[in-house]
Structure 1
Amino acid sequence: MCQTTRRKGLEDSSFVGEDAASVDAHIKVLNDQHKKLHPDTALVKDRITKTFAWRHREVAEGMCTVDLLKRDPFLGTSAGLCDEVDLMHHCQDNICRRFSENFTAVLQNVLQMTKDLPLQKVYMEARENALAEEITGIDFKGALLLLPSIFKEKIEDFIILGENTPSPYPTIRMKDKSWTTALSRQCCCVVTVEGVDVCSCRSLDEAYISAFSTFFVFNMTYPAYFKKTLVFLQNCIVNIGDKGGDKPLPVSVTRVLDQLY
Protein backbone atom coordinates (compact mmCIF):
# COMPACT_ATOMS: atom_id res chain seq x y z
CA MET A 1 0.00 0.00 0.00
CA CYS A 2 1.25 3.47 -0.87
CA GLN A 3 0.71 5.47 2.32
CA THR A 4 0.69 8.81 0.50
CA THR A 5 -2.54 7.90 -1.28
CA ARG A 6 -4.56 7.58 1.93
CA ARG A 7 -6.36 10.48 3.59
CA LYS A 8 -5.16 11.40 7.07
CA GLY A 9 -8.30 10.24 8.83
CA LEU A 10 -12.02 9.60 8.87
CA GLU A 11 -14.70 11.01 11.07
CA ASP A 12 -15.51 9.09 14.26
CA SER A 13 -18.08 6.29 13.96
CA SER A 14 -20.51 4.87 16.48
CA PHE A 15 -20.25 1.24 17.55
CA VAL A 16 -23.51 1.12 19.49
CA GLY A 17 -24.94 -2.40 19.79
CA GLU A 18 -22.05 -4.23 18.10
CA ASP A 19 -18.89 -5.93 19.30
CA ALA A 20 -16.17 -7.95 17.57
CA ALA A 21 -18.14 -11.21 17.84
CA SER A 22 -21.35 -9.79 16.41
CA VAL A 23 -19.47 -8.05 13.61
CA ASP A 24 -17.72 -11.30 12.67
CA ALA A 25 -21.13 -13.01 12.57
CA HIS A 26 -22.50 -10.28 10.29
CA ILE A 27 -19.48 -10.57 8.01
CA LYS A 28 -19.99 -14.33 7.74
CA VAL A 29 -23.55 -13.68 6.59
CA LEU A 30 -22.27 -11.20 4.01
CA ASN A 31 -19.68 -13.63 2.69
CA ASP A 32 -22.29 -16.38 2.44
CA GLN A 33 -24.68 -14.08 0.60
CA HIS A 34 -21.93 -12.94 -1.77
CA LYS A 35 -21.46 -16.55 -2.93
CA LYS A 36 -25.12 -16.81 -3.94
CA LEU A 37 -26.33 -16.14 -7.46
CA HIS A 38 -29.23 -14.08 -6.07
CA PRO A 39 -28.28 -12.60 -2.67
CA ASP A 40 -30.97 -11.43 -0.29
CA THR A 41 -30.60 -7.69 -0.89
CA ALA A 42 -32.49 -6.65 2.24
CA LEU A 43 -30.35 -8.93 4.41
CA VAL A 44 -27.16 -7.71 2.76
CA LYS A 45 -28.06 -4.04 3.23
CA ASP A 46 -28.91 -4.68 6.90
CA ARG A 47 -25.58 -6.42 7.61
CA ILE A 48 -23.59 -3.84 5.66
CA THR A 49 -25.18 -1.10 7.75
CA LYS A 50 -24.48 -2.95 11.01
CA THR A 51 -20.80 -3.49 10.13
CA PHE A 52 -20.24 -0.03 8.67
CA ALA A 53 -18.72 1.60 11.76
CA TRP A 54 -16.21 -1.23 12.24
CA ARG A 55 -15.29 -1.24 8.56
CA HIS A 56 -14.95 2.54 8.67
CA ARG A 57 -12.46 2.24 11.54
CA GLU A 58 -10.47 -0.50 9.77
CA VAL A 59 -10.08 1.72 6.71
CA ALA A 60 -9.02 4.66 8.89
CA GLU A 61 -6.42 2.45 10.57
CA GLY A 62 -4.91 1.59 7.18
CA MET A 63 -6.31 -1.83 6.25
CA CYS A 64 -5.00 -2.55 2.75
CA THR A 65 -7.29 -2.86 -0.23
CA VAL A 66 -6.79 -6.61 -0.66
CA ASP A 67 -7.64 -7.40 2.98
CA LEU A 68 -10.64 -5.09 2.97
CA LEU A 69 -12.09 -6.77 -0.12
CA LYS A 70 -11.54 -10.21 1.39
CA ARG A 71 -13.32 -9.19 4.57
CA ASP A 72 -16.16 -7.30 2.85
CA PRO A 73 -16.62 -8.71 -0.67
CA PHE A 74 -19.63 -6.52 -1.48
CA LEU A 75 -17.18 -3.59 -1.69
CA GLY A 76 -16.01 -5.31 -4.86
CA THR A 77 -19.24 -4.42 -6.67
CA SER A 78 -20.48 -1.16 -8.16
CA ALA A 79 -23.64 -1.27 -6.05
CA GLY A 80 -21.67 -2.00 -2.88
CA LEU A 81 -19.34 0.94 -3.44
CA CYS A 82 -22.21 3.36 -4.00
CA ASP A 83 -24.11 2.04 -0.99
CA GLU A 84 -21.01 2.57 1.15
CA VAL A 85 -20.70 6.20 0.07
CA ASP A 86 -24.39 6.69 0.89
CA LEU A 87 -23.71 5.39 4.41
CA MET A 88 -20.78 7.77 4.77
CA HIS A 89 -22.61 10.81 3.39
CA HIS A 90 -26.34 10.66 4.00
CA CYS A 91 -28.55 12.35 1.44
CA GLN A 92 -32.14 12.06 0.28
CA ASP A 93 -31.07 10.75 -3.14
CA ASN A 94 -28.39 8.09 -3.53
CA ILE A 95 -25.06 8.99 -5.09
CA CYS A 96 -25.76 7.22 -8.39
CA ARG A 97 -28.98 9.19 -8.96
CA ARG A 98 -27.32 12.49 -8.00
CA PHE A 99 -24.40 11.78 -10.31
CA SER A 100 -26.69 10.94 -13.25
CA GLU A 101 -29.16 13.80 -12.82
CA ASN A 102 -26.69 16.57 -11.95
CA PHE A 103 -24.17 15.64 -14.63
CA THR A 104 -26.94 15.43 -17.24
CA ALA A 105 -27.76 19.05 -16.36
CA VAL A 106 -24.29 20.23 -17.47
CA LEU A 107 -23.29 17.74 -20.14
CA GLN A 108 -24.37 19.86 -23.13
CA ASN A 109 -22.27 22.74 -21.84
CA VAL A 110 -19.33 20.37 -21.30
CA LEU A 111 -19.66 19.20 -24.90
CA GLN A 112 -19.90 22.78 -26.15
CA MET A 113 -16.82 23.90 -24.20
CA THR A 114 -14.73 21.04 -25.61
CA LYS A 115 -15.89 21.10 -29.24
CA ASP A 116 -12.43 21.73 -30.71
CA LEU A 117 -10.62 18.87 -28.96
CA PRO A 118 -9.43 15.72 -30.82
CA LEU A 119 -11.47 13.46 -28.53
CA GLN A 120 -14.59 15.43 -29.50
CA LYS A 121 -14.13 14.09 -33.05
CA VAL A 122 -14.15 10.51 -31.76
CA TYR A 123 -17.31 11.26 -29.80
CA MET A 124 -19.03 12.84 -32.81
CA GLU A 125 -18.15 9.89 -35.06
CA ALA A 126 -19.54 7.44 -32.49
CA ARG A 127 -22.69 9.54 -32.22
CA GLU A 128 -23.20 9.66 -35.99
CA ASN A 129 -22.88 5.87 -36.26
CA ALA A 130 -25.20 5.13 -33.32
CA LEU A 131 -28.82 4.12 -33.25
CA ALA A 132 -31.29 6.78 -32.12
CA GLU A 133 -31.86 5.12 -28.75
CA GLU A 134 -28.11 5.13 -28.05
CA ILE A 135 -27.58 8.88 -28.50
CA THR A 136 -28.41 9.91 -24.93
CA GLY A 137 -25.96 7.40 -23.47
CA ILE A 138 -23.21 8.41 -25.89
CA ASP A 139 -23.69 12.10 -25.02
CA PHE A 140 -23.35 11.28 -21.32
CA LYS A 141 -20.22 9.17 -21.81
CA GLY A 142 -18.71 11.66 -24.23
CA ALA A 143 -19.10 14.46 -21.70
CA LEU A 144 -17.49 12.28 -19.00
CA LEU A 145 -14.47 11.70 -21.24
CA LEU A 146 -14.17 15.37 -22.16
CA LEU A 147 -14.83 16.88 -18.70
CA PRO A 148 -11.21 16.80 -17.40
CA SER A 149 -9.96 18.90 -20.32
CA ILE A 150 -12.06 21.83 -19.05
CA PHE A 151 -9.81 21.84 -15.99
CA LYS A 152 -6.68 21.27 -18.11
CA GLU A 153 -6.41 17.67 -16.91
CA LYS A 154 -6.16 14.46 -18.94
CA ILE A 155 -8.74 11.67 -19.04
CA GLU A 156 -5.86 9.32 -19.86
CA ASP A 157 -4.70 9.71 -16.24
CA PHE A 158 -8.01 8.33 -14.96
CA ILE A 159 -8.92 5.82 -17.67
CA ILE A 160 -6.17 3.52 -18.88
CA LEU A 161 -6.63 1.91 -22.29
CA GLY A 162 -5.34 -1.67 -22.37
CA GLU A 163 -2.70 -3.03 -20.02
CA ASN A 164 -0.48 -0.52 -18.26
CA THR A 165 1.58 0.04 -15.13
CA PRO A 166 -0.94 0.07 -12.24
CA SER A 167 -1.46 3.36 -10.43
CA PRO A 168 -1.69 3.52 -6.62
CA TYR A 169 -4.71 5.80 -7.11
CA PRO A 170 -8.20 4.67 -8.18
CA THR A 171 -8.30 4.28 -11.95
CA ILE A 172 -10.38 2.65 -14.65
CA ARG A 173 -8.70 0.09 -16.88
CA MET A 174 -10.42 -0.57 -20.18
CA LYS A 175 -9.59 -3.91 -21.76
CA ASP A 176 -10.05 -2.42 -25.24
CA LYS A 177 -7.63 0.24 -26.48
CA SER A 178 -10.29 2.32 -28.22
CA TRP A 179 -12.14 5.41 -27.01
CA THR A 180 -14.84 4.48 -29.51
CA THR A 181 -15.46 1.29 -27.51
CA ALA A 182 -15.73 3.36 -24.32
CA LEU A 183 -18.61 5.26 -25.90
CA SER A 184 -20.49 2.13 -26.95
CA ARG A 185 -23.46 0.59 -25.17
CA GLN A 186 -21.25 -1.86 -23.30
CA CYS A 187 -17.52 -2.08 -22.70
CA CYS A 188 -15.42 -4.12 -20.30
CA CYS A 189 -13.85 -1.96 -17.58
CA VAL A 190 -12.09 -2.77 -14.32
CA VAL A 191 -11.79 -0.31 -11.44
CA THR A 192 -8.46 -0.63 -9.64
CA VAL A 193 -7.20 0.77 -6.33
CA GLU A 194 -3.53 0.51 -5.34
CA GLY A 195 -3.07 -1.77 -8.35
CA VAL A 196 -5.74 -4.20 -7.08
CA ASP A 197 -8.79 -5.05 -9.21
CA VAL A 198 -11.79 -3.91 -7.16
CA CYS A 199 -14.77 -4.43 -9.46
CA SER A 200 -15.69 -5.11 -13.08
CA CYS A 201 -18.13 -2.82 -14.89
CA ARG A 202 -20.05 -3.16 -18.13
CA SER A 203 -20.14 0.51 -19.13
CA LEU A 204 -18.01 3.62 -18.89
CA ASP A 205 -20.51 5.54 -16.77
CA GLU A 206 -20.82 2.68 -14.27
CA ALA A 207 -17.02 2.48 -14.03
CA TYR A 208 -16.70 6.27 -13.66
CA ILE A 209 -19.04 6.52 -10.66
CA SER A 210 -17.54 3.35 -9.14
CA ALA A 211 -13.98 4.64 -9.41
CA PHE A 212 -15.05 8.01 -8.01
CA SER A 213 -16.72 6.23 -5.08
CA THR A 214 -13.55 4.32 -4.21
CA PHE A 215 -11.84 7.57 -3.21
CA PHE A 216 -14.29 7.76 -0.30
CA VAL A 217 -14.68 4.06 0.45
CA PHE A 218 -10.93 3.35 0.57
CA ASN A 219 -10.08 6.75 2.08
CA MET A 220 -7.88 7.83 -0.82
CA THR A 221 -6.50 11.32 -1.43
CA TYR A 222 -7.10 12.92 -4.82
CA PRO A 223 -4.02 12.80 -7.09
CA ALA A 224 -2.73 16.25 -7.99
CA TYR A 225 -2.97 15.49 -11.71
CA PHE A 226 -6.75 14.88 -11.55
CA LYS A 227 -7.76 16.80 -8.46
CA LYS A 228 -9.76 19.61 -10.08
CA THR A 229 -12.03 17.20 -11.94
CA LEU A 230 -12.65 15.13 -8.81
CA VAL A 231 -13.26 18.19 -6.63
CA PHE A 232 -15.81 19.42 -9.16
CA LEU A 233 -17.59 16.05 -9.18
CA GLN A 234 -17.58 15.91 -5.38
CA ASN A 235 -18.87 19.41 -4.70
CA CYS A 236 -20.98 20.26 -7.74
CA ILE A 237 -22.29 16.93 -9.03
CA VAL A 238 -22.79 14.62 -6.03
CA ASN A 239 -22.94 17.47 -3.48
CA ILE A 240 -20.56 16.05 -0.89
CA GLY A 241 -18.89 18.88 0.98
CA ASP A 242 -15.47 18.72 2.58
CA LYS A 243 -15.25 17.54 6.17
CA GLY A 244 -15.57 20.45 8.52
CA GLY A 245 -17.79 22.49 6.34
CA ASP A 246 -17.23 25.54 4.24
CA LYS A 247 -13.87 25.12 2.54
CA PRO A 248 -14.08 27.17 -0.67
CA LEU A 249 -13.64 25.54 -4.07
CA PRO A 250 -10.27 26.11 -5.76
CA VAL A 251 -10.20 29.16 -8.03
CA SER A 252 -9.32 26.87 -10.93
CA VAL A 253 -12.69 25.13 -10.44
CA THR A 254 -14.88 28.17 -9.75
CA ARG A 255 -13.43 29.88 -12.83
CA VAL A 256 -15.34 27.53 -15.15
CA LEU A 257 -18.58 27.15 -13.19
CA ASP A 258 -20.28 30.17 -14.77
CA GLN A 259 -19.73 28.57 -18.17
CA LEU A 260 -21.16 25.25 -17.07
CA TYR A 261 -24.29 26.54 -15.31
Structure 2
Amino acid sequence: MSLAGAGFPGPVPPPAPGDWPYPRWIAHRGAGTLAPENTLAAFALGHAHGYRMFECDVRLSADGQPFLLHDDRLERTTEGQGEAVDQRWAELARLDAGSWHSPRYAGERLPSLADVVEFCRQQECALNVELKPAPGDEARTGREVAAALTRSWTRALPPLLSSFSVAALEAAAGVAPQLPRGLLLEAFSDEGLGLARRLGCVALICEQRAWDGSTVRQARAAGLRLLAYTVNEDGDAARLLALGLDGLITDRIDHFPPCPVA
Protein backbone atom coordinates (compact mmCIF):
# COMPACT_ATOMS: atom_id res chain seq x y z
CA MET A 1 0.00 0.00 0.00
CA SER A 2 1.49 3.33 -1.02
CA LEU A 3 1.39 6.32 1.27
CA ALA A 4 1.95 8.81 -1.54
CA GLY A 5 -1.05 11.06 -1.64
CA ALA A 6 -1.64 10.54 2.08
CA GLY A 7 0.76 13.29 3.03
CA PHE A 8 3.88 11.10 3.04
CA PRO A 9 7.03 11.95 1.10
CA GLY A 10 7.33 8.49 -0.50
CA PRO A 11 9.66 5.61 0.45
CA VAL A 12 11.88 6.42 3.41
CA PRO A 13 15.59 5.82 2.66
CA PRO A 14 18.19 5.61 5.43
CA PRO A 15 18.63 9.20 6.62
CA ALA A 16 21.78 11.05 5.71
CA PRO A 17 23.94 12.56 8.47
CA GLY A 18 22.30 15.74 9.72
CA ASP A 19 19.06 14.86 7.92
CA TRP A 20 17.07 13.37 10.82
CA PRO A 21 13.75 15.22 10.73
CA TYR A 22 12.46 14.50 14.24
CA PRO A 23 12.92 16.51 17.45
CA ARG A 24 15.70 15.26 19.71
CA TRP A 25 13.64 15.29 22.91
CA ILE A 26 10.59 13.01 22.97
CA ALA A 27 7.95 12.96 25.72
CA HIS A 28 7.46 9.42 27.07
CA ARG A 29 3.81 8.29 26.96
CA GLY A 30 2.73 11.90 26.47
CA ALA A 31 3.96 13.59 29.62
CA GLY A 32 6.07 11.08 31.48
CA THR A 33 4.75 10.73 35.01
CA LEU A 34 3.15 14.17 35.34
CA ALA A 35 -0.20 13.05 33.91
CA PRO A 36 -1.88 9.68 33.36
CA GLU A 37 0.22 7.97 30.72
CA ASN A 38 -1.04 7.44 27.18
CA THR A 39 -3.98 9.84 27.53
CA LEU A 40 -4.90 13.02 25.68
CA ALA A 41 -4.42 14.90 28.94
CA ALA A 42 -0.80 13.72 28.96
CA PHE A 43 -0.29 14.84 25.37
CA ALA A 44 -1.76 18.25 26.17
CA LEU A 45 0.51 18.65 29.20
CA GLY A 46 3.58 17.58 27.24
CA HIS A 47 2.71 20.09 24.55
CA ALA A 48 2.26 22.81 27.18
CA HIS A 49 5.82 22.10 28.33
CA GLY A 50 7.09 22.70 24.79
CA TYR A 51 7.40 19.12 23.54
CA ARG A 52 6.57 18.55 19.90
CA MET A 53 7.18 14.80 19.65
CA PHE A 54 5.51 12.12 21.71
CA GLU A 55 6.03 8.41 22.29
CA CYS A 56 2.95 6.28 22.96
CA ASP A 57 1.96 2.62 23.21
CA VAL A 58 -0.67 1.29 20.81
CA ARG A 59 -2.44 -2.07 20.92
CA LEU A 60 -5.69 -3.54 19.62
CA SER A 61 -9.07 -4.19 21.20
CA ALA A 62 -10.90 -7.46 20.56
CA ASP A 63 -12.67 -5.87 17.59
CA GLY A 64 -9.50 -4.43 16.08
CA GLN A 65 -9.57 -0.81 17.28
CA PRO A 66 -6.07 0.66 17.79
CA PHE A 67 -5.92 2.48 21.14
CA LEU A 68 -3.37 3.63 23.69
CA LEU A 69 -2.40 1.40 26.61
CA HIS A 70 0.98 0.14 27.79
CA ASP A 71 0.11 -3.00 29.76
CA ASP A 72 -1.53 -6.18 28.52
CA ARG A 73 -3.91 -5.93 31.48
CA LEU A 74 -6.13 -3.04 32.50
CA GLU A 75 -5.73 -2.90 36.28
CA ARG A 76 -2.70 -0.63 36.68
CA THR A 77 -3.89 2.39 34.71
CA THR A 78 -7.68 2.01 34.45
CA GLU A 79 -10.67 0.97 36.53
CA GLY A 80 -11.06 -2.09 34.29
CA GLN A 81 -9.96 -5.64 34.88
CA GLY A 82 -8.54 -8.40 32.74
CA GLU A 83 -6.75 -8.60 29.42
CA ALA A 84 -7.34 -5.56 27.25
CA VAL A 85 -7.32 -7.62 24.06
CA ASP A 86 -10.37 -9.56 25.28
CA GLN A 87 -12.59 -6.46 25.37
CA ARG A 88 -14.28 -4.53 22.60
CA TRP A 89 -13.51 -0.88 22.04
CA ALA A 90 -16.97 0.27 23.17
CA GLU A 91 -16.23 -1.24 26.59
CA LEU A 92 -12.67 0.06 26.80
CA ALA A 93 -13.68 3.58 25.77
CA ARG A 94 -15.88 3.90 28.85
CA LEU A 95 -13.12 3.17 31.37
CA ASP A 96 -11.68 5.79 33.70
CA ALA A 97 -7.98 5.97 32.84
CA GLY A 98 -7.09 8.96 35.01
CA SER A 99 -8.17 8.43 38.63
CA TRP A 100 -5.27 6.05 39.32
CA HIS A 101 -2.89 8.96 38.76
CA SER A 102 -4.59 11.73 40.75
CA PRO A 103 -8.07 13.17 41.42
CA ARG A 104 -7.35 15.97 38.94
CA TYR A 105 -7.56 13.48 36.09
CA ALA A 106 -10.60 11.50 37.23
CA GLY A 107 -12.70 10.52 34.24
CA GLU A 108 -9.90 10.75 31.68
CA ARG A 109 -10.54 8.12 29.00
CA LEU A 110 -8.38 5.79 26.97
CA PRO A 111 -7.79 7.50 23.62
CA SER A 112 -8.01 5.78 20.29
CA LEU A 113 -5.08 6.09 17.91
CA ALA A 114 -7.34 8.28 15.78
CA ASP A 115 -7.74 10.69 18.72
CA VAL A 116 -3.97 11.04 19.04
CA VAL A 117 -3.47 11.44 15.29
CA GLU A 118 -5.97 14.30 15.34
CA PHE A 119 -4.15 15.93 18.27
CA CYS A 120 -0.86 15.73 16.37
CA ARG A 121 -2.51 17.20 13.28
CA GLN A 122 -3.96 20.13 15.17
CA GLN A 123 -0.80 20.83 17.17
CA GLU A 124 1.65 19.99 14.34
CA CYS A 125 3.47 17.39 16.41
CA ALA A 126 5.51 14.30 15.56
CA LEU A 127 4.72 10.85 16.89
CA ASN A 128 6.58 7.67 17.84
CA VAL A 129 4.05 4.83 17.90
CA GLU A 130 5.28 1.79 19.80
CA LEU A 131 3.47 -1.33 18.64
CA LYS A 132 2.53 -3.06 21.90
CA PRO A 133 0.80 -6.30 20.91
CA ALA A 134 -0.75 -8.73 23.34
CA PRO A 135 0.97 -12.14 23.24
CA GLY A 136 -0.08 -13.92 20.06
CA ASP A 137 -1.47 -10.72 18.54
CA GLU A 138 1.78 -9.42 17.03
CA ALA A 139 1.03 -9.66 13.31
CA ARG A 140 -2.54 -8.36 13.60
CA THR A 141 -1.34 -5.40 15.65
CA GLY A 142 1.38 -4.48 13.16
CA ARG A 143 -0.98 -4.72 10.20
CA GLU A 144 -3.92 -2.86 11.71
CA VAL A 145 -1.94 -0.02 13.26
CA ALA A 146 0.05 0.56 10.08
CA ALA A 147 -3.12 0.48 8.00
CA ALA A 148 -4.88 2.90 10.35
CA LEU A 149 -1.98 5.34 10.07
CA THR A 150 -2.03 5.21 6.27
CA ARG A 151 -5.69 6.20 6.36
CA SER A 152 -5.51 8.93 8.97
CA TRP A 153 -2.08 10.58 9.09
CA THR A 154 -1.89 13.68 6.89
CA ARG A 155 1.26 15.47 8.08
CA ALA A 156 4.27 15.35 5.76
CA LEU A 157 6.50 14.04 8.56
CA PRO A 158 5.38 10.42 9.05
CA PRO A 159 5.07 8.74 12.44
CA LEU A 160 7.98 6.58 13.53
CA LEU A 161 6.86 3.01 14.27
CA SER A 162 8.79 1.05 16.87
CA SER A 163 8.50 -2.24 18.67
CA PHE A 164 10.33 -4.96 20.56
CA SER A 165 8.28 -7.38 18.45
CA VAL A 166 9.93 -8.43 15.20
CA ALA A 167 6.67 -9.99 14.00
CA ALA A 168 4.77 -6.73 14.56
CA LEU A 169 7.37 -4.69 12.68
CA GLU A 170 7.43 -7.20 9.82
CA ALA A 171 3.64 -7.08 9.51
CA ALA A 172 3.65 -3.27 9.59
CA ALA A 173 6.29 -3.17 6.87
CA GLY A 174 4.19 -5.48 4.72
CA VAL A 175 1.25 -3.06 4.87
CA ALA A 176 3.12 0.26 4.86
CA PRO A 177 6.77 -0.09 3.86
CA GLN A 178 7.08 3.70 3.62
CA LEU A 179 6.54 4.17 7.35
CA PRO A 180 9.94 4.55 9.06
CA ARG A 181 10.59 1.86 11.65
CA GLY A 182 12.78 1.49 14.72
CA LEU A 183 13.70 -1.70 16.57
CA LEU A 184 13.52 -1.50 20.36
CA LEU A 185 16.20 -3.34 22.34
CA GLU A 186 16.95 -3.62 26.03
CA ALA A 187 20.61 -4.34 25.31
CA PHE A 188 22.77 -3.77 22.24
CA SER A 189 23.86 -6.91 20.38
CA ASP A 190 25.14 -7.98 16.99
CA GLU A 191 21.95 -9.99 16.60
CA GLY A 192 19.81 -6.92 17.28
CA LEU A 193 21.82 -4.84 14.86
CA GLY A 194 21.36 -7.49 12.18
CA LEU A 195 17.63 -7.67 12.87
CA ALA A 196 17.26 -3.90 12.52
CA ARG A 197 18.98 -4.03 9.13
CA ARG A 198 16.94 -7.03 7.96
CA LEU A 199 13.72 -5.28 8.96
CA GLY A 200 14.67 -2.17 7.00
CA CYS A 201 14.68 -0.03 10.13
CA VAL A 202 15.95 3.53 10.06
CA ALA A 203 16.61 3.61 13.82
CA LEU A 204 17.74 1.50 16.76
CA ILE A 205 16.06 2.47 20.05
CA CYS A 206 17.94 1.09 23.05
CA GLU A 207 17.73 1.32 26.82
CA GLN A 208 19.99 4.28 27.53
CA ARG A 209 22.76 2.27 29.24
CA ALA A 210 23.31 0.31 26.02
CA TRP A 211 24.89 3.30 24.28
CA ASP A 212 28.62 3.95 24.49
CA GLY A 213 31.31 4.89 22.02
CA SER A 214 31.59 1.37 20.62
CA THR A 215 27.87 0.68 20.16
CA VAL A 216 27.32 4.13 18.67
CA ARG A 217 30.04 3.51 16.09
CA GLN A 218 28.60 0.11 15.17
CA ALA A 219 25.07 1.42 14.74
CA ARG A 220 26.24 4.43 12.75
CA ALA A 221 28.29 2.17 10.49
CA ALA A 222 25.10 0.19 9.82
CA GLY A 223 23.39 3.39 8.63
CA LEU A 224 21.03 3.63 11.61
CA ARG A 225 19.89 6.58 13.69
CA LEU A 226 20.13 6.18 17.47
CA LEU A 227 17.51 6.78 20.14
CA ALA A 228 17.52 6.04 23.87
CA TYR A 229 14.89 5.35 26.52
CA THR A 230 14.11 6.37 29.25
CA VAL A 231 16.46 9.30 29.90
CA ASN A 232 15.62 10.87 33.26
CA GLU A 233 18.96 11.81 34.85
CA ASP A 234 21.19 14.79 34.04
CA GLY A 235 24.33 12.70 33.79
CA ASP A 236 22.76 10.23 31.39
CA ALA A 237 21.40 13.02 29.21
CA ALA A 238 24.78 14.75 29.07
CA ARG A 239 26.55 11.51 28.15
CA LEU A 240 24.07 10.63 25.41
CA LEU A 241 24.10 14.12 23.95
CA ALA A 242 27.91 14.00 23.86
CA LEU A 243 27.66 10.70 21.98
CA GLY A 244 25.48 12.44 19.41
CA LEU A 245 22.27 10.47 19.86
CA ASP A 246 19.41 11.51 17.63
CA GLY A 247 16.56 11.07 20.09
CA LEU A 248 16.12 10.98 23.87
CA ILE A 249 12.83 9.72 25.30
CA THR A 250 12.14 11.15 28.75
CA ASP A 251 9.60 11.21 31.56
CA ARG A 252 10.99 14.49 32.90
CA ILE A 253 9.25 16.93 30.62
CA ASP A 254 9.37 19.61 33.31
CA HIS A 255 13.14 19.25 33.69
CA PHE A 256 14.69 18.76 30.27
CA PRO A 257 13.96 21.58 27.83
CA PRO A 258 12.85 20.23 24.47
CA CYS A 259 15.21 20.99 21.62
CA PRO A 260 14.15 22.26 18.23
CA VAL A 261 13.98 19.89 15.27
CA ALA A 262 17.52 18.76 14.47
Asked if Structure 1 and Structure 2 have the same fold, meaning a TM-score greater than 0.5 normalized by the shorter chain, the answer is no
Q: Going by fraction, where is strand more abundant, 1 or 2?
A: 2
Q: Going by fraction, where is helix more abundant, 1 or 2?
A: 1
Structure whose alpha-carbon radius of gyration is higher: 1
TM-score (norm 2): 0.25
TM-score (norm 1): 0.25
